[in-house]
Amino acid sequence: MTIQTLDISPVGRVEGDLDVRVDIEDGQVVNAWTQAEMFRGFEIILRGKDPQAGLIVTPRICGICGGSHLTSASWALDTLWGTEVPRNAILARNLGQIVETIQSIPRYFYGLFAIDLTNKNYRSSRFYEEACRRFAAFTGKSYELGVTISGKPVEIYALFGGQWPHSSYMVPGGVMCAPTLTDITRAWAILEYFRTNWLEPVWLGCSLERYEQIRTYDDFMAWLDENPNHRESDLGFYWRMGLDIGLDRYGAGVGKYVTWGYLPHEDKYQKPTIPGRNTAMFMKNGVYDSFSDTHASMDQSLLRENTTHSWYDEGTADVHPSDRTTKPRVSNTKDFENAYSWSSAVLHQDFGRLEAGPLARQLVAGGNHGESWQHHDGFILDAFKRLGGASVHLRQLARLHEIVKLYRQAQHCLRELKLNDPWYIKPTEKDGQGWGATEAARGALSHWVEVQEGKIKNYQVITPGTWNIGPRDSEGKRGPIEQALIGTPIEDSTDPVEVGHVARSFDSCLVCTVHAHDAKTGEELARFRTA
Amino acid sequence: MGDNLQTLLWDCISGKITLDILVFEGSVINAPNGTGQWNRFAHRPMKEWLKDLCQVAKFIVAVGDCATWGGIPAMSPNPSESQGLQYLKREKGGFLGKDFVSQAGLPVINIPGCPAHPDWITQILVAIATGRIADIALDELQRPQTFFNTYTQTGCTRNIHFAYKASTQEFGQRKGCLYYDLGCRGPMTHSSCNRTLWNRVSSKTRAGMPCIGCTEPEFPFFDLQPGTVFKTQTIMGVPKELPPGVKAKDYALLTMVAKDTMPPWAEEDFFTV
């Protein structure tokens, strides 16, 4: 049974506990609640501490996105202190962010997602036996290779930062390292190894150059048909199987998307400021509203949090994250009419609830907003329109599509590093407010820091998990995963693997305990954990 | 998973299935007011599962600073009332109490670090599983000596600069030792980071990041109070904390000699591009 397989998955709990409760009626999910079940209080711990404490503490919020937290923490201090960040340091930070995300893609796909394709539900699919051969936990041919190869990219992180995870090599004013020629050449060798041992032969079945010619959904389908190597690659095989078992037919969600944008251009963000950030990112920021098919740029000042349905004594009004006071409620009894989660509801002042993640990034990448030099890619937006919106399947494709682009960005960083130029310019500490953001593999991440009299007055973090896992807001509107679960067909209510697909398609890096309830009787039908 | 997982856990607790090794990650969360309700797992406070499982486990291995000493969650003001399994910071006791021993008669085996190195975890588990538990000597903090007897500095490529007191005065330098100005705790911290390396390729101190002492119970040191992050704490220019066993008077003598004998290349870009 797949459930059993998941239990022994090597990528288990990474960031705390998530419960999902769903009501099922006539074989479909009709209501859903996502509940974060662990409180650690990082924001409270950081109060009164050294301004740079976030560089040490926040990477440890999460074992798989530590580099992304470090990226946000250091850029937040850069904007606060008004530092100058040398070109080399921007590239070295970007490289860390990139390789962490490249690591995450095969680790997530094989270690967390694809093992469910071997679930007994899909036994009647003509792809089933091959899926078991490739994706079965531990024994699958691709599983073993994919999980093993996922450790390679972060060796580059270790060359620059000393170790992955949990280095603090990014500091306001630059980076701590000063790599040598051999660090750079070793990094190249690691990238080459990753490409020639997995990315091209196993994942794509073609060269990066051939894959990069895909610009539209029709291009992608033509690529699939062009060559048996493409069809039989893990990407080609997954896409065909996903359509066969209907992963494209559920998991839609809130239909509005957000990304902070990331990877600052090495020549355009050496004097980092909060307002200057949007026009300095290679991958542009934005909001995509699929109902009106429009793109808008994103600004941190438009963000709100609401704790009406969370275990905090902070009122019911929408507040900006920097105005949060983080007052946990002593009694955290589950009450689905009232409070049921440690997560807050995050919303955009104008657009309301937004989905974060690779799908959001790629839908925004297809917009015509932003600077002319910023990255533009219309493929996923086109696929979104052709396939009638978001789904579990499209969320995967968006994530998987990013790997080739990030690989190219990593090469760019290695090419542009200048060994004899500075890596760090010592800044002057001062009081004030800072904000830093990036895109973790699983979506929009940002840190707000306020320093007064040389110590942290307030530190607030909004992770991709907060965006996606959040409970209902003050108007009772569901969060992105809650909404995405609505309409999910359940073939076997004692083994609701489809609920797992939806929850996992957000890659929320939480252990999810999924409770399936019968909507009529309230009887608990099944519980199982997703990683 | 889920019901299956719960059945499995209950079968371990009832003795139907032998629990050979219990590996625990994460702090033991006691908030609010000792109830543990702020961290529930499968409908019970995690600490209740843990209490039951610890009673039946042959061996117990705490992995990472949270499980060993409480880690970052237990840093002041410790809002989640976190503890390690058998310690809170350096104080013995923790969740299980100072006299606790598992079924095999051993205290909790502590594998600290934030994170713990994968080799430390897997090699200790293999040692237990292959009947070599008798060869695992524990130190006074219940850490396996094989990994935690030497100092983080052992094997650091900056040792030569340490010897001549050549300092890395600010970040982004290839030369110098990080101990004198940037707060490196490599000489005082017990770990094998520079012997086994991370991700098989490097270590923080080799790359230029000061060791922050993450295998010691006091981590994060000084509770990250203002002025303590990436800065060596000094009195009259002398580091407050000297390598263990070195006397302040001898250190002053050594400094004079080292600086006098320092060859010119020690202050140059030693690891040239």
Do B233 and B207 meet the contact criterion of CB atoms below 8 Å apart?
no
Please tell me the distance in Å from B247's CA to the nearest CA on chain A.
30
A vs B: CB pairs below 8 A:
194
Tell me the pairing of strands B44-45 and B91-92. unpaired
A212 in a domain, yes or no?
yes
Do A62 and A478 meet the contact criterion of CB atoms below 8 Å apart?
no
A382 in a domain, yes or no?
yes
Please tell me the distance in Å from A420's CA to the nearest CA on chain B.
8
Residue A8 confidence (pLDDT): 21
Nearest by CB: A162 against B6, B8, B202: B202
Residue A400 confidence (pLDDT): 97
Give ipTM to 2 decimals: 0.97
A215 in a domain, yes or no?
yes
Separation CA A306–CA A471 (nearest Å): 9
Nearest by CB: B1 against A173, A342, A529: A529
Residues of chain B contacting A4 with CB distance shorter than 8 Å? 1, 4
**What's the pTM value of the predicted model, to 2 decimals?**
0.95
DSSP state of A260: -
Please tell me the distance in Å from A492's CA to the nearest CA on chain B.
15
Per-residue pLDDT of chain B (273 residues; tens, 9 = 90+): 456 677 889 999 999 999 999 999 999 999 999 999 999 887 889 999 999 999 999 999 999 999 999 999 999 999 999 999 999 999 999 999 999 999 999 999 999 999 999 999 999 999 999 999 999 999 999 999 999 999 999 999 999 999 999 999 999 999 999 999 999 999 999 999 999 999 999 999 999 999 999 999 999 999 999 999 999 999 988 999 999 999 999 999 999 999 899 998 888 876 655
Over 90: is that where the pLDDT of A474 sits? Answer: yes
Mutation target among A49, A191, A428 for the B interface, most CBs of B within 10 A: A49
Residue A246 confidence (pLDDT): 97
Give the C-alpha distances (Å, rounded to integers) separating A233 from A202, A210, A224, A284, A405: 6, 14, 9, 30, 18
3-state SS, residue A209: helix
Residues of chain A contacting B228 with CB distance shorter than 8 Å? 50
3-state SS, residue A163: coil
Tokens at A39, concatenated: 């409180």
CB spacing of A50 vs B228 below 8 angstroms = yes
Tokens 């042959």 belong to residue = B58
The answer to whether the peptide bond before residue A59 is cis (omega within 30 degrees of 0) is: no
CA atoms within 13 A on the CB side of B233: 13
Residue A523 confidence (pLDDT): 66
CA A414 vs. chain centroid, Å, equals 24
CB spacing of A426 vs B170 below 8 angstroms = yes
Which pLDDT tens digit goes with each residue over A309-368?
A: 999 999 999 999 999 999 999 999 989 999 999 999 999 999 999 999 999 999 999 999
CB spacing of A454 vs B209 below 8 angstroms = no
Beta-bridge partners for B109: B61
Nearest CA in chain B to A341: B38
CATH of the domain at A480: 1.10.645.10
CA atoms within 13 A on the CB side of B178: 30
A484 in a domain, yes or no?
yes
Residues of chain B contacting A44 with CB distance shorter than 8 Å? 77, 79
- For the segment(s) B3-148, the CATH number from 2.60.220.10, 2.60.40.1930, 1.10.3720.10, 3.40.50.700 is 3.40.50.700
Over 50: is that where the pLDDT of A72 sits? Answer: yes
Separation CA B263–CA B273 (nearest Å): 20
Q: Which of A496, A194, A140, A117 is nearest to B2 (CA)?
A: A496
A292 in a domain, yes or no?
no
Separation CA A109–CA A399 (nearest Å): 9
CB spacing of A56 vs B199 below 8 angstroms = no
More confident residue, A490 or A16: A490
Domain that holds residue A54: 2-265+342-530
Over 90: is that where the pLDDT of A266 sits? Answer: yes
Q: The domain B159-266: what is its CATH number?
A: 4.10.480.10
CB spacing of B32 vs A455 below 8 angstroms = no
Residues of chain A contacting B80 with CB distance shorter than 8 Å? 39-41
Over 50: is that where the pLDDT of A531 sits? Answer: no
Where are the domains positioned within chain B?
3-148, 159-266
- Average pLDDT along chain B: 94
Q: What are phi and psi of A439, to 5 degrees?
A: -115, 110
Cα R_g (chain A), whole angstroms: 22
Nearest by CB: A7 against B5, B193, B210: B5
